[in-house]
Structure 1
Amino acid sequence: MDIRHLTYFIEVSRFESFTRAADYLYVTQPTISKMIKNLEEELGVELFDRSRKKLVLTDAGRAIYAKAETIVKASENLKTELDDLIGLQRGHIRIGLPPILDAERVIRILGEFHDLHPHITFELIENGTKRIEEDILKENLDVGIAVLPTEEEEFHTFSFIQEELGVVVPLSHPLANRKRIDLQELEHENFITFNKDFALYERIHDACRQAGFQPKTVSESSQWDFIGKMITSGLGISILPYSVAALLKEEVRVIKVRNPVLDWNVALIWRKNHYLSYATKEWLRFTQERLIENTSD
């Protein structure tokens, strides 16, 4: 039994005629008669009393008719919902964003996408890269923005930001007039860093250990503006991307790091070999396209 069997049965019942139902459904009368006969044989009952001039439903036919209407209607509703999803008339996308990121570019692209697909809704969740990766794997997020490297076997990536990190100090700091600094020279400084949920935490700590010292961390935060305030209050220094340091309204100085040069690479990430909704796939396609255009401008 399939939906066609039930659809043909409903129309024959409605028109009380095989011929008129066949005309309505644009099939031949023998075709619809055969479909009804197959349905009766499968169910083991007669659906119509054929002894009269017009077709009349049997008791079994009347019982099945009510159920058939419900099933066919549900099938039609399901098809409409699928058509809406495929046509991007519905959908919800959950996106993980690191609070360290200047999200203006991403928000602008979201706005452009919303103009094209106003029925797609978004949920933006701020977290560090590690948490974003975990939430994608746990299916709490559909896509995220993260600092590379990430687990290559788990995630597709699309890199769109590559830039250096700089040492951020208050103007009153003895190093404030330096243009460049070796990382080893910061051995005795107090560090203010992002917390352990952020990829930059490990990036900075690993680089310091390679330079021969363990950074002395006096404070951790998940918010770049708090870090800026702590720097200007004299609590310590930090190492931040130049784009993030430029957002600090406080008076600070950014100094280029060498030996080693520190950088970061930011990318869209989404899970490999995993289902993505039509809305998410279209948002990824659109966003990558717009990011490429912005880079080439």
Structure 2
Amino acid sequence: MDIRHLQYIQEIVRLNSFTKAAETLHITQPSISKAVKQLEQELGTDLFIREGKHFRLTDAGSAILKYAGPILQLFESLQSELNDLNYLNQGSIRIGLPPMAGASFFPTVIKRFQDRYRGIAITMIEEGAVKIEEGLIDGTLDVGVVISPIKADIFDSFALIQDRLSLVVSPSHRLAGRDEVKLAELAEERFILFNRNFALHDQIIGRCRSVGFEPQIVHESSQWDFIAAMVGAELGIAMLPQTICQTLPAERIVVVPLVQPVIPWELVLVWKRDGYLSLATRAWISFTQEVFGGKPGE
């Protein structure tokens, strides 16, 4: 028995046809029938019971089918890992980044990583946390940076940045001179939020509801610098991480600590718990742990 026999049987059963299985596997129908016959002779038992144009699996055939899927998946992972061992410096990583992280934290980190692994190509996709998690699940992303909490049953992670949200207002705003502001005091304000693809959208709405009011949302955006510009133009207020607030122009923006409650903002690196991680992706995870001092699960 070799790995091709498992592929043949899996496809025959999946498509319920020797002919269709042969077409999918790019071999002739007589070839696939001959291979199955040879396997039956090798094992000394029938795998299929032929009933006219139809067939069904014997007990032996069912046993082979039961293990075929896991064995083929392991074989594919083995091939991928062996290829990675040979081609680490020709690998690639697809990283999902929220705009705030992409602009503030990662350019320097990526430069240091590529100084060490010059052959690895990095593709960065700027999206909100919702889209990043979807990309990790469907395999279009290898790793991502999102805001905690995460779905711990699906993703592994470690913390990168721990921060808190601050209130951002224009210099002429009534709260601009305050030392701190309670969240409940914002009940009558006009909010400028990240759009629904960002975890902060629902997080801020949820916090407002927890203190008794529904925020009046007048604008949504995917860019933190545009949100800050709208605040400076007196179109509303916003909440941004303190780390980001430090980069805003002081002549156009006033940052006020937000209390009762303090709203944490924690960035975490995440990757799908199940499934194969390329050697290049594992190198990135290890490198970022080294840079940020995190441990998986933290």
TM-score (norm 1): 0.69
Partner of 2:279: 278
Give runs of aligned pairs for residues 112-123 of structure 1, distance below 5 A: 112-123=112-123
Once the two structures are overlaid, the 10-residue window that deviates more, 283-292 or 143-152, is 283-292
Where 1:274 maps in the other structure, the secondary structure is coil
Give runs of aligned pairs for residues 24-39 of structure 1, distance below 5 A: none
2:232/2:252 contact within 8 Å kept: yes
Computing the radius of gyration from Cα coordinates, the structure with the larger value is 1
Distance 1:146 1:80 in 2: 31
Partner of 1:69: none
Distance 1:81 1:188 in 2: 56
Partner of 2:125: 125
Where 1:100 maps in the other structure, the secondary structure is helix
1:102/1:243 contact within 8 Å kept: no
Partner of 2:84: 85
One-letter amino acid of the counterpart of residue 198, structure 2: F
Distance 1:101 1:223 in 2: 11
- Cα shift readout 1:103-162 (whole Å, capped 9, x = no counterpart): 443222221221222111010000000100001001010000000001110000111111
Partner of 2:258: 257
Partner of 1:40: none
Distance 2:217 2:269 in 1: 30
Partner of 1:13: none
Shift of the 154–201 alpha-carbon distance from structure 1 to 2, 3 Å rule, reads same
Give runs of aligned pairs for residues 239-254 of structure 1, distance below 5 A: 239-249=239-249, 251-254=252-255
2:182/2:258 contact within 8 Å kept: yes
Distance 2:100 2:90 in 1: 31
Give runs of aligned pairs for residues 201-240 of structure 1, distance below 5 A: 201-240=201-240
Shift of the 281–80 alpha-carbon distance from structure 1 to 2, 3 Å rule, reads closer
Distance 1:176 1:97 in 2: 31
1:95/1:143 contact within 8 Å kept: yes
2:102/2:126 contact within 8 Å kept: no
Does 1:150 pair with 2:150?
Answer: yes
Give runs of aligned pairs for residues 52-91 of structure 1, distance below 5 A: 85-87=84-86, 88-91=88-91
Give the root-mean-square deviation of aligned CA atoms.
2.2
User: What stretches of structure 1 of length at least 5 have no aligned partner?
Assistant: 3-78
Distance 1:84 1:286 in 2: 21
Partner of 1:34: none
Shift of the 186–277 alpha-carbon distance from structure 1 to 2, 3 Å rule, reads same
Where 2:271 maps in the other structure, the secondary structure is strand
User: What stretches of structure 2 of length at least 5 have no aligned partner?
Assistant: 3-77
Distance 1:80 1:181 in 2: 57
- Cα shift readout 1:156-187 (whole Å, capped 9, x = no counterpart): 01111111111100111111000111111100
1:163/1:265 contact within 8 Å kept: yes
Does 1:290 pair with 2:291?
Answer: yes
Distance 2:245 2:102 in 1: 10
Where 2:174 maps in the other structure, the secondary structure is coil
Once the two structures are overlaid, the 10-residue window that deviates more, 111-120 or 164-173, is 111-120
Residues matched between the structures, number: 218
Cα distance, 1:247 vs structure 2: 2.1
Distance 2:119 2:140 in 1: 21
1:101/1:244 contact within 8 Å kept: no
One-letter amino acid of the counterpart of residue 235, structure 1: L
**Identity over aligned pairs, percent:** 41
TM-score (norm 2): 0.69
Shift of the 281–259 alpha-carbon distance from structure 1 to 2, 3 Å rule, reads same
Partner of 1:168: 168
Where 2:248 maps in the other structure, the secondary structure is coil
Partner of 2:186: 186
1:102/1:244 contact within 8 Å kept: no
Where 2:239 maps in the other structure, the secondary structure is strand
Cα distance, 1:81 vs structure 2: 9.5
2:171/2:252 contact within 8 Å kept: yes
One-letter amino acid of the counterpart of residue 159, structure 1: A
2:104/2:244 contact within 8 Å kept: no
Where 2:101 maps in the other structure, the secondary structure is coil
